[in-house]
């Protein structure tokens, strides 16, 4: 790992549209992004609780916390939500 | 800097013995830091010269045997006191303004194109690329350990080379999110002009925009235990195409 693989000269490269969502958020202009991650996690589950899993605008929050939060943190919060001791009421 | 690129194609991206100078910059931030440093050094030279000159001329002109009653007349002067109070204040303002300007420019994270999550452990760094997932919703995750001295190959840097380098595409706004798992570490890379403490339970961000390909080295910069010196940082900047090839290999492998 670490080495850059050789490009296959015969391979046809295709360009796909790609959009990143976790840009600058005026609520979190600081170096400290802990709340930025947390707020998006809470907002995503509040959003899906209110509007349902398939409500597409909720995905914005998902991409944001997915991109910012460490895996270990979201795994822990997922566990707390399932156990019912998540410190925020997601249905209010 | 512009001229420098024509003179030498060799860039200094790693520390050298007795290197009491900056490594060559690879990001606009580091260029800003160098600019500010040179700016402040200009004032420093003027102050050093002026103060030294004043001290020497005072000692020479007011020796006890040369002017025995100097203390009778050299005891008060409103004008000189105004000058030596106001001019340092003015110089401090001249230093403070570019300093704040740079500080807030560096703090600003532009809309980044990708996020790299760096986590400090005792004593290695681990990385995640959460923006790119495969079908199983997994993303790239790897640990980056130092290469021990016995395993070094010809041309590798002692105490700086790691087994898995961080690969970042050049000319891309990247947000590095920095945290720690156990104790306080600090993520630093002089060539890129970044240094941010890594705290457990806190996410710090640093903005990186690498403007040339290369491999840039840094070290943990907050004393974190016995092997603090053995958790170096190696960031490799590659073209976007090479980055995508690497990404694909990581996702499939």
Q: Under an 8 A CB cutoff, do B203 and A36 touch?
A: yes
For chain A, the structural domain boundaries read 34-83
List, in sequence order, every residue forming a beta bridge with B139; answer none if it has no partner: B133
Say if residue A56's pLDDT is above 60.
yes
* CATH classification (class only), B28-107: mainly alpha
Mean pLDDT of A22-29: 82
CA distance B88 to B135: 63
Share of chain B above pLDDT 90, in %: 58
Q: Under an 8 A CB cutoff, do B206 and A1 touch?
A: no
Taking the Cβ of residue B202 and every Cβ of chain A, the question of whether any pair is shorter than 8 Å is answered with yes
Minimum distance, in Å, between the CA of residue B215 and any CA atom of chain A: 12
Please say whether the beta carbons of A33 and B207 come within 8 A: no
Residue that is written with structure tokens 């420093």 in the block:
B44
CA distance B190 to B169: 18
Please say whether the beta carbons of B214 and B186 come within 8 A: no
Instruction: List CB contacts of B8: < 8 A, sequence separation 6 or more.
Output: none
Q: Which of B112, B119, B245 lies closest to A5 in CB terms?
A: B245
Domain B114-252 has CATH 3.20.20.70: no
In chain B, residues with a C-beta closer than 8 Å to the C-beta of A13 are 241
Which of B14-18, B139-143, B150-154 comes out lowest in average pLDDT? B14-18
Say if residue B63's pLDDT is above 50.
yes
Say if residue B37's pLDDT is above 60.
yes
> CATH number of A34-83: 3.90.1150.10, 2.170.270.10, 1.10.10.140, 1.10.287.3510?
1.10.10.140
Taking the Cβ of residue B242 and every Cβ of chain A, the question of whether any pair is shorter than 8 Å is answered with yes
Q: Under an 8 A CB cutoff, do B241 and A36 touch?
A: no
DSSP B121-174: ETTEEEEEEEEEE-TTS-EEEEEEPBPPGGGPPTTPPTTT-BSSPEEEETTSEE
For chain B, the structural domain boundaries read 28-107, 114-252
Q: Under an 8 A CB cutoff, do B250 and A1 touch?
A: yes
- Distances in Å between the Cα of B199 and the Cα atoms of A65, B120, B178 are 19, 8, 8
In chain A, residues with a C-beta closer than 8 Å to the C-beta of B111 are 20, 23-24
A42-52 residue pLDDT tens: 999 999 999 88
Mean pLDDT of B148-177: 90
Q: Which of B129, B177, B196 to mutate to test the interface with A (most CBs of A within 10 A)?
A: B177
What residue of B is the nearest CA neighbor of A4? B246
Question: What confidence tier does A9 reach under pLDDT thresholds 50, 70, 90?
Answer: confident
Predicted confidence at residue A1, as pLDDT, reads 46
Cis ω for the linkage preceding B141 (within 30 of 0) = no
DSSP A12-53: PP------------TT--SSB-HHHHHHHHHHHHHHHHHH-T
In chain A, residues with a C-beta closer than 8 Å to the C-beta of B167 are 2, 4
Minimum distance, in Å, between the CA of residue A58 and any CA atom of chain B: 17
Find, among B4, B32, B23, B31, the residue nearest to B216 by Cα: B23
Instruction: For residue B16, give the 3-state DSSP assignment.
Output: coil
């Amino acid at each position: 790992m670490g080495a850059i693989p050789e490009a296959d000269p015969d391979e046809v490269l295709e360009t796909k549209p790609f959009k990143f969502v976790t840009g600058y958020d005026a609520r979190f202009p600081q170096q400290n992004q802990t709340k930025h991650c947390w707020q998006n996690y809470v907002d995503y589950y509040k959003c899906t609780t209110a509007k349902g899993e398939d409500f597409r605008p909720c995905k914005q929050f998902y991409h944001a916390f997915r991109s910012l939060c460490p895996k270990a943190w979201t795994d822990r919060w997922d566990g707390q939500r399932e156990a019912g001791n998540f410190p925020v009421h997601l249905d209010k | 800097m512009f001229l420098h690129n024509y003179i030498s194609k060799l860039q200094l991206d790693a520390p050298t013995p007795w290197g009491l100078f900056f490594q060559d910059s690879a990001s606009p931030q580091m260029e800003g830091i160098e600019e500010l440093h040179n700016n402040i050094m200009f004032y420093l030279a003027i102050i050093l010269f002026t103060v030294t000159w004043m001290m020497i001329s005072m000692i020479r002109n007011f020796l006890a045997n040369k002017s025995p009653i100097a203390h009778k007349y050299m005891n008060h002067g409103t004008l000189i006191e105004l000058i030596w109070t106001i001019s340092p204040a003015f110089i401090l303002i001249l230093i403070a303004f570019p300093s704040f300007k740079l500080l807030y420019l560096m703090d600003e994270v532009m809309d980044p194109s990708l996020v790299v999550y760096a986590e400090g452990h005792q004593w290695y760094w681990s990385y995640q690329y959460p923006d790119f997932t495969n079908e199983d919703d997994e993303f790239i995750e790897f640990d980056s350990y130092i290469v021990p001295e016995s395993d070094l190959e010809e041309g590798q840097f002692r105490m700086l080379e790691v087994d898995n380098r961080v690969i970042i595409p050049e000319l891309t706004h990247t947000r590095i999110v920095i945290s720690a798992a156990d104790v306080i570490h600090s993520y630093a890379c002089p060539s890129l002009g970044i240094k941010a403490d890594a705290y457990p339970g806190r996410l710090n961000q640093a903005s990186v925009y690498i403007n040339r390909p290369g491999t840039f080295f840094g070290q943990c910069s907050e004393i974190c235990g016995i092997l603090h010196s053995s958790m170096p940082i190696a960031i490799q900047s590659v073209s976007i195409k090479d980055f995508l090839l690497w990404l694909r290999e990581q996702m499939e492998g």
